[in-house]
Amino acid sequence: MLRLIFTVADVRRVLDLRDSDDDTIIIPERLSKGLWCRMGYTGHVNDIYLKSRFCRPYKFMVHCVVQALSHRQGAYDETSDYIMNIITCLVLKRPYNISQVLFNHMVDNIKGEKYIMYSRFVQMLLVDQVKDLPKDPTVELKLQHMSIETLNRLNKYKGITEDQEPRIKGMICKIANLDYWHD
């Protein structure tokens, strides 16, 4: 029987995340909440965070991070604390140890009775360690482009009419200024 061992370093290398063991995995909650308010978030900051409550310029970014990195089986409108941290670090251009976070969720998944999370990441790790791994094209995970329906959902606010949607002056931090750096 073939036994494979994966480490945080493997996740970092195979996914080419360019983070470090020295990077933080916990961002001060006050920093994230303050940033989210600057990003036009209209929900209550001490409640469940919903991507549908973001202004349009940031909603798509939040959507992409939630879809790609959430360890949930459903409820893709909700964002968890670690997703908040990832988005905060992306916008503020702060280092973040995303490899460790993904690895922790993968390990937790093995212990529980959940469906396979991060299946595309697991596949990449397997292909990396098992050379000439046979592939069955009938069971490949097919990637699909976003549909018009999904884009229309992203273009709406939950419970807010278009004339009440929050306005922001422009993109902030790293997104607005490529030279931005916050120490």
Helix (H) or strand (E) holding 79: strand 78-79
Q: What is the mean pLDDT of residues 168-172?
A: 59
Angstrom distance (rounded) from CA 88 to CA 135:
38
Helix, strand, coil fractions of the chain, as percent rounded to 5 = 50, 5, 50
pLDDT tens digits along 87-123? 999 888 899 999 999 999 888 877 766 656 677 788 8
Q: What is the mean pLDDT of residues 48-70?
A: 81
pTM of the model: 0.72
So where are the chain's domains? 1-19+97-130, 24-95
pLDDT tens digits along 18-43? 999 999 998 998 898 888 888 888 87
pLDDT tens digits along 149-163? 776 766 665 555 666
Scanning the structure block, which residue is given the tokens 């422009």?
Answer: 170
Angstrom distance (rounded) from CA 74 to CA 72:
5
Predicted pLDDT of residue 116: 62
**127 has pLDDT over 90:** no
